[in-house]
Amino acid sequence: MKRLNLSKAQDDFPKIVSRAASEKERTVVSRGGKDVAAVVPIEDLQFLERIDRQDVQDARAALAEPGEDVSLEDMKQELGLP
């Protein structure tokens, strides 16, 4: 994965987008040494959106299941986890 600071990314933006589309390259953009954004192939974004939708559906289904709530501590104890 490529990393660029914001000013370099701004200068090279058309190339970054082209490489994301044609070569499936991911580029992380940083500002002040901190990662703030990424340019990714559209397929990556579509995949993440599908996962997010599925997670929401799964969470709603779990919340709709009958039964009583169990605390994390109780669940750990029941499973023998520290």
* Number of domains forming the structure of the chain: 1
CATH code for the domain in which residue 47 is found? 3.40.1620.10
| Residue-wise pLDDT tens digits, 30-73 | 999 999 999 999 999 999 999 999 999 999 998 898 888 889 99
Domain that holds residue 9: 2-65
CB atoms under 10 Å from CB of 70, counted, come to: 10
CB atoms under 10 Å from CB of 25, counted, come to: 17
pTM reported for the whole predicted model = 0.68
- Asked whether residue 23 is domain-assigned, the answer is yes
Whether 25 contacts 2, CB under 8 Å: yes
- Asked whether residue 75 is domain-assigned, the answer is no
Q: Can you tell me the distance from the alpha carbon of 38 to that of 27, in angstroms, rounded to the nearest whole number?
A: 5
| Residue-wise pLDDT tens digits, 66-80 | 888 889 999 999 999
- Asked whether residue 54 is domain-assigned, the answer is yes
